[in-house]
Amino acid sequence: MGSFAIIGAGISGLACGNALAAAGHQVSLFDKGRGPGGRMSTRRVDTPIGQAHFDHGAQFFTERDPDFQKAVSALEAQGAVGLWRGQFVRFDSNGQQSTLGDEPRYVGTPGMNGIVRGLATGLNTAWGMRVSTLSGQKGAWQVHFESGETLGPFDQVVCAVPAEQVSDLLSQHTPAIGDQAKAVRSLPCWAGLFAFEGPLKIDWDMARFDGHPVLDVISTSVNKPGRTGPATYVVHGRADWSITHLEEAADQIASFLLQELAALCGPLPPPLVQSAHRWRYARVETSHGPGFLYDGVQGIGACGDWLSGPRVESAWVSGHHLGQALSA
């Protein structure tokens, strides 16, 4: 059985790790984040009335793929995933509200990162470890960390990070994968994070905005399963608006997005939390397509949403299929 280093323990890296581990391989995952989540992170902020929880990246996920359905069912049984029975609406460019399709939407519990935490159970995963470079070759890869530490040897390496970071890490070793990653552009997203003592006066849980100059999506935690603490609201800016304002200070962005929330909901009570998070690589503009990439000469694979589609489910499928291919 082989040994694999997986760089990135977001949902795609973990799906790959689980498929490899199920086939009996030795798997070590490394992630620069302080805890599980990646773009499915949950931020916790203390307030005078309890801890506020924000899913500030992905808001929900679908389960269309049969293998992903099985994985979601297992996680649901563990209490790491729940069905979000919310009201989902769309506003058109004239402000007209309509209902979004009623496909089941799932979330991690008690926060979105619950699913990532669940998938990491039983895998050898190290957080807070940013990989800076690789050296070696197939059968003898060394992984070098920003901290100065080096771990290895590993037979093969999987890179499960956004495309821009893939090209930095892999171009030197596998130009074929590096060049494909370089051709991909990820779009940013500013997220406003707001908490209030009680729910705001709106009759929906998530709204998508078509043709709005600033807003892309607004969601509330109020009816998400397993959430406790103050009512929280996440306001995602459109990609083009986020690009224009990318380098502005987070507190300015938070004030601006709070005004947008007020424009929609009417006068707001004083927020318990008011902040903003910048996702520099939120979602790929266009996905590359093959599902995953593998250089068999070098023993390097790549997976993630940039190869499959800018959604949680697609990222999982990408990692799962790469793990199965490497196991075979």
CB of 151 to ligand FAD, least distance (A): 12
Closest CB 193 distance from ligand FAD, rounded Å: 11
Rounded to a whole number of angstroms, the minimum distance from the CB of residue 277 to ligand FAD is 9
Main-chain phi, psi angles of 298, to 5 degrees: -90, -20
Q: Name the residue nearer to ligand FAD (CB basis): 225 or 310.
A: 310
CB of 197 to ligand FAD, least distance (A): 25
Binding site for ligand FAD (CB under 6 A): 7-13, 30-33, 38-40, 57-61, 130-131, 160-162, 165, 189, 191, 236, 279, 282-283, 304-305, 310-313, 315
Task: Please identify, using beta-carbon distances, which residue of 49 and 126 lies nearer to ligand FAD.
Answer: 126
Q: How far is the CB of 297 from ligand FAD (least distance, A)?
A: 23
Residue nearest to ligand FAD (CB): 10
Q: Which is nearer to ligand FAD, 86 or 304 (CB)?
A: 304
Q: Which is nearer to ligand FAD, 40 or 200 (CB)?
A: 40
As measured in angstroms, the least distance from the Cβ of 295 to ligand FAD is 19
Q: 70 or 266, CB closer to ligand FAD?
A: 70
Residue (177 or 315) nearer to ligand FAD, CB: 315
